[in-house]
Amino acid sequence: MIRNLQHCHRIVVKIGTSSLIHHNGKVNLQTIDRLAYTLAAMNNQGFEVVLVSSGAIGVGLDKLHLPKRPAEIAAQQAIAAVGQGELLRLYIQRFSDYDTQVGQMLLTHDTFDYPVSRQHVLDTLETLLDHDIIPIINENDTVAVDEMDHRTTFGDNDQLSALVAARIDADLLVVLSDIDGLYDADPHKHAGAKKLDAITHLSQDILSAAGGTGTRFGTGGMVTKLKAAETMMLAGRQMVLCSGADPRVILKIVAGEAVGTWFGRPKTAAQ
């Protein structure tokens, strides 16, 4: 399967909490540094790059020396408020090392539901990209909860990243995860599970087979990633799901190497 990545120019990168936080709950500084290096290098090459980053609660737990995520919503929001500031500080620090400017945007689902606010967000994104500034987007965890009257929450940043990518006509969404692709069975339970190189149609069998809820620090699982892939494919765009252990893998992806699992529609010779 030939991946149609040669002409990708506008790219959204989503990184999950599991890639940003070690198993012991400490922040993975090496991953953040490699991510900043990679996106700064791409920015210098003329790519337009948007980063959708989870991790506010994970970083907040580390900052406040808390062993586990509390069940109370208010407590989670407070942790997110602390963690988001610390996460942005780390990003600013690392991107500054590579002489690259970033700008933070915290969004809720309502932002996209209402035409006026949606247009303001899209205008802001376009302006940042026009000035070679990398937008760093996260869900606004301090206000996005299911219990509110409005439909504020995305539920996970997989959905948010696909929605942003589709809205800004991104050519490619790269989802960096704790798994290196989509398998035909759960690789944690089945030793013979095989990684799928390319998906051109998300059948009901594939969607039904997906499961899992991620780690204790994250909320996403394979289902949310497949939904993100479906959003991109319906928009006529592409997605790659791969391991976030070393974000420099993104450079291989845009070079056309067969990394992770590619989701998209194959182009015909006429296209």
Task: Quick: pLDDT tens for 189-209.
Answer: 888 888 999 999 888 777 766
**224 among the known binding-site residues?**
yes
The verdict on whether residue 157 carries a ligand-binding annotation is yes
Contacting residues for 194 by C-beta, under 8 A, at least 6 apart:
183, 184, 185
Flag whether 252 is marked binding.
no
User: Does 127 appear as a known binding residue?
Assistant: no
Tell me the CA distances in angstroms from 105 to 47, 89, 149, 202, 215, one per residue in order.
20, 14, 23, 31, 25
**CA of 8: how far to CAs of 5, 75, 85, 171, 200, in Å?**
5, 41, 32, 5, 18
Is residue 1 a part of any domain in this protein?
Answer: no
Q: What is the pLDDT of residues 78-91, one digit of tens each?
A: 999 999 999 999 99
Can you give the pTM of this predicted structure?
Answer: 0.90
| Domain contains 2 | no
Any domain includes 83: yes
Q: Is the pLDDT of residue 154 over 70?
A: no
Domains contained in the chain, number? 1
Tell whether 268 is covered by a domain: no
138 in a labelled binding site: no
What are the tens digits of pLDDT across the range 114-145? 899 999 999 999 999 999 999 999 988 777 65
Q: What is the CATH number of the domain that holds 172?
A: 3.40.1160.10
Q: Does residue 269 carry a pLDDT above 50?
A: no
- 181 labelled as ligand-binding? no
Annotated ligand binding at 54? The verdict is yes
Is the residue at 271 inside a domain?
no
Q: Calculate mean pLDDT across residues 174-184.
A: 92
Cα 120 from Cα 109, distance rounded (Å)? 14
pLDDT of residue 145: 56
In this structure, is residue 232 part of a structural domain? yes
Report whether 178 belongs to an annotated binding site: yes
261 is an annotated ligand-binding site residue: no
136 domain-assigned: yes
Annotated ligand binding at 225? The verdict is yes
Burial status of residue 110 (CB atoms within 10 A of its CB: 0-12, 13-18, 19 or more): middle
Is 138 part of a structural domain of the chain?
yes
Residue-range definition of the domain harbouring residue 154: 10-263
Is 59 assigned a ligand-binding role in the annotation?
Answer: no
